[in-house]
């Protein structure tokens, strides 16, 4: 079998794309999605720790026959756009340099997600490029589609905020949330590569546990998005969010427990969600509680709103690596480049 399979490009590419940090789970999937995209050309994949290795050797499931290189922006040429999958703080300076070179950038780190520098620095430490914060669109197309279309820098949302915001947007937009608890679980790919014995197969097999029980930094990101949606300004409640690791490779389930500001019937709920998401290509309102297996290896979010006593419970399922990271990055890139939003993602 010839290993250097050519990219399935249809005619001239809409953009020549670099994926920086392509050795991690999200970066490698981003490279794979760009590689198989009919309108994007993958011109380079980079890695700080794994340069010299072919990407499909490191991640055999992803059929990208390119060798990982050290990122060298000085010599870069003929690149139109980049997806950056660096850790937070490490990402900001690289993104700034890329923007200086005129590249359109989708950044998977947390560095440009929080509009407030103050909030960012409380949770993540000093911000290296605060001037760029105002330029970044928050890349959840279902909430910010037009902003993303116009943006040259898109902050790709966190996986939990993606699922939570999609689960809650119809309620938040109607001012229906009086109090909120979010309980979530994620497969092990969400914890990244590395990790030593904590992520060893034996440690996690037949296991499940909560982490960051006292506070998780996706909380302010969720709060930011809900505040923006809420009519009449930021809501009064303080959300509580606790995530878990469960023995899956990919997949994420987010339960939202809403104390509503007024009684909401099941019919009204159904209508609210059908209206909100009827035209969305990647959001499905389901009749049964969604399983993460149903959305595995897809860019879909399945949302299921239900009344439970006087509360409203909304369950959302995504694949943390797709809609929660790299699939959404390509969805954003499609919008930024004027391509059909679902191109390369079905």
| Contacting its own copies within 129-158 (CB under 8 A) | none
Residue 34 touching its own copies (CB under 8 A): no
Q: How many residues bind its own copies (CB under 8 A)?
A: 79
Residue 60 touching its own copies (CB under 8 A): yes
Region for 109 from its dihedrals, namely left if φ exceeds 0, alpha if ψ lies in -120 to 50, beta otherwise:
beta
Helix (H) or strand (E) holding 165: helix 159-172
Restricted to residues 311-340, the positions that interact with its own copies (CB under 8 A) are 311, 313, 315, 317
Could you tell me the two tokens for 222? 């969720």
Could you tell me the two tokens for 174? 């109607």
Question: For its own copies, which stretch binds (CB under 8 A), given 66-74, 91-99, 201-209, 326-334?
Answer: 201-209
Judged by CB under 8 A, the residue of 208, 227, 234, 271 near its own copies is 208
CA–CA separation, 45 vs 55, rounded Å? Answer: 8
Q: Are 317 and 290 in contact (CB under 8 A)?
A: yes
Instruction: Tell me, residue by residue from 268 to 307, as one string, x for binding to its own copies by CB under 8 A and - for no binding.
Output: ---------xxxxxxxxx---xxxxxx-xx--x---x-xx
Question: For its own copies, which stretch binds (CB under 8 A), given 81-89, 98-106, 129-137, 208-216?
Answer: 208-216
Residue 122 touching its own copies (CB under 8 A): no
Angle at 219 between CA 106 and CA 117, to 5 degrees: 60
Q: Which is nearer to its own copies, 137 or 301 (by Cβ)?
A: 301
Judged by CB under 8 A, the residue of 21, 141, 170, 251 near its own copies is 251
Sign of CA dihedral 143, 146, 149, 154: negative
Sheet with 311-318, strands from edge to edge, namely 209-210, 240-245, 177-186, 252-260, 311-318, 301-308, 283-285
Q: Which is nearer to its own copies, 101 or 211 (by Cβ)?
A: 211
Question: For its own copies, which stretch binds (CB under 8 A), given 92-100, 109-117, 162-170, 239-247?
Answer: 239-247
Could you tell me the two tokens for 138? 């928050």
Q: Which is nearer to its own copies, 98 or 301 (by Cβ)?
A: 301
Tell me which residue has tokens 């982490």: 211
Following CA atoms 339, 35, 20, 296 in sequence, which dihedral angle do they give, to the nearest 10 degrees? 90
Question: For its own copies, which stretch binds (CB under 8 A), given 88-96, 148-156, 187-195, 328-336?
Answer: 187-195
Judged by CB under 8 A, the residue of 204, 272, 333, 339 near its own copies is 204
Centre a 10 Å sphere on the Cβ of residue 51 and count the other Cβ atoms it contains: 14
Angle at 252 between CA 231 and CA 338, to 5 degrees: 65
The nearest distance, CB 91 to its own copies, in angstroms, is 22
Give the length of the chain.
Answer: 346
The nearest distance, CB 309 to its own copies, in angstroms, is 5
| Cα separations in angstroms, 304 against 184, 251, 297, 327, 328 | 14, 16, 19, 21, 20
Residue 218 touching its own copies (CB under 8 A): no
Q: Which of 187, 204, 201 is nearest to 249 (CA)?
A: 187
Judged by CB under 8 A, the residue of 178, 210, 227, 234 near its own copies is 210
Which of the following is catalytic: 159, 182, 248, 318? 159
Residue 253 touching its own copies (CB under 8 A): yes
Judged by CB under 8 A, the residue of 166, 171, 172, 188 near its own copies is 188
The nearest distance, CB 205 to its own copies, in angstroms, is 5
Residue 9 touching its own copies (CB under 8 A): no
Identify whether 256 is a catalytic site residue.
no
CA–CA separation, 25 vs 114, rounded Å? Answer: 23
Catalytic residues: 159
């Amino acid at each position: 079998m010839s290993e250097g399979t050519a990219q399935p490009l249809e005619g001239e590419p809409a953009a020549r794309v670099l994926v920086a940090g392509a050795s991690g789970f999200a970066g490698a999937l981003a490279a794979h999605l760009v590689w198989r995209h009919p309108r994007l050309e993958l011109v380079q994949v980079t890695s700080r720790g794994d340069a010299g290795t072919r990407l499909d050797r490191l991640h055999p499931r992803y059929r990208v026959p390119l060798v990982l290189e050290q990122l060298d922006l000085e010599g870069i040429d003929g690149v139109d756009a980049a997806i950056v999958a660096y850790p937070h703080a490490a990402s900001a300076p690289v993104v700034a340099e890329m923007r200086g070179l005129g590249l359109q950038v989708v950044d998977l780190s947390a560095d440009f997600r929080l509009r407030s520098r103050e909030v960012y620095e409380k949770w993540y430490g000093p911000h290296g490029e605060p001037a760029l914060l105002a330029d970044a669109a928050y890349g959840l197309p279902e909430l910010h589609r037009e902003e993303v279309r116009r943006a040259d820098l898109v902050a790709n949302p966190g996986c939990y905020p993606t699922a939570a915001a999609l689960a809650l947007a119809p309620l938040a937009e109607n001012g229906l949330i009086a109090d909120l608890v979010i309980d979530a679980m994620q497969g092990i790919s969400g914890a990244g590569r590395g990790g030593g014995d904590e992520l060893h197969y034996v440690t996690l097999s037949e296991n499940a546990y909560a982490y960051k029980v006292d506070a998780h930094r996706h909380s302010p990101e969720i709060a930011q998005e809900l505040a923006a949606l809420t009519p009449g300004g930021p809501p009064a409640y303080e959300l509580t969010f606790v995530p878990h690791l469960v023995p899956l490779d990919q997949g994420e389930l987010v339960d939202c427990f809403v104390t509503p500001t007024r009684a909401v019937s099941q019919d009204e709920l159904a209508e609210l969600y059908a209206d909100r998401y009827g035209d969305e290509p990647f959001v499905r309102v389901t009749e049964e509680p969604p399983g993460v297996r149903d959305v595995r290896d897809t860019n879909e979010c399945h949302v299921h709103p239900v009344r439970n006593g006087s509360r409203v419970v909304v369950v959302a399922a995504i694949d943390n690596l797709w809609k929660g990271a790299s699939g959404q990055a390509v969805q954003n890139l499609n919008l930024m480049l004027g391509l059909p939003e679902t191109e390369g993602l079905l």
